[in-house]
Amino acid sequence: MSETPLIADDLVAGRRADPPAGMPGDMPRWMATTILAIDRFSLWIGRLVSWLTLPLMGAMAYEIAARYLYTAPTAWAYDISRMLYGALFVLGAGYALSRGVHIRSDFLYRNWSVRNQGRVDTALYVILYFPSLLIFLWVASNWAWTSVVRAERGMDTSWMPLLGPIKSCLPFGILFLLIQGVSELLKSLYAAQKGRWPNA
């Protein structure tokens, strides 16, 4: 099998390993400490959230067995699968950002110098990322709180589950993205100044 990567692989955002043990020696201590602490926090959150896959798979396996072996489909499996998958997606977004797997136009970005990559990332984090996520956090928090206070229920199935718990995952997921964004901003500042990524 050829070791040459496919063109499609080359266009995917660069995946990163787990948080490194240290940062470059020329990085200010406060910056290195902040990056490492946030990256480790996101790794911990990612590992914790990944356990939601077990009840998700369990619910789906039970539904398949009940439906096809006993002709007794459940009233709750559809809702549970949507809720757990949504929680996985939202709560794991900060971890995904820390690993560098969010979608990006790498077919342009990868050809720029590291300094230009750092400058563009810094500008986008400051101008777009943080302001939009802060607004989103405010809106999502109000949305989730309203759902909890009103004891809102889902109307898609006869089970009609409470929606407050799943809607409350959204503000937490946005908060995790904001926290990881601080680490990514500091990395991009370092890249813009030094011409190399701190975790490269």
26 pLDDT above the threshold of 70: yes
Decide which of 133 and 105 is more confident: 133
pLDDT, tens digit, for every residue of 113-136? 999 999 999 999 999 999 999 999
3-state DSSP assignment of residue 53: helix
Total count of residues recorded for the chain: 200
pLDDT per residue over 70-104, tens digit each? 888 888 998 999 999 999 999 999 999 998 887 77
Query: What pLDDT is recorded for position 21?
Result: 64
Which pLDDT value is given to residue 149?
95
What average pLDDT does this structure show over 36-45? 95
Domain extents for the chain? 27-194
- The mean per-residue pLDDT over the stretch 8-14 comes to 49
Using the predicted structure, report yes or no on whether residue 10 has a pLDDT greater than 50.
no
How much is the average pLDDT of 38-47?
95
> pLDDT tens across 122-176, in order?
999 999 999 999 999 999 999 999 999 999 998 888 889 999 999 999 999 999 9
Tokens of 5: 């990567």
Calculate the alpha carbon distances from 73 to 35, 55, 58, 61, 147 in Å: 48, 17, 14, 12, 28
- Calculate ∠ Cα 57-59-62, nearest 5°: 105
Q: Is 63 helix (H, G, I), strand (E, B) or coil?
A: helix
Predicted confidence at residue 9, as pLDDT, reads 46
CB of 167 within 8 A of CB of 143? yes
SS in 3 state form for 128-193? HHHHHHHHHHHHHHHHHHHHHHCCCECCCCCCCCECHHHHHHHHHHHHHHHHHHHHHHHHHHHHHH
Q: What is the pLDDT of residue 18?
A: 61
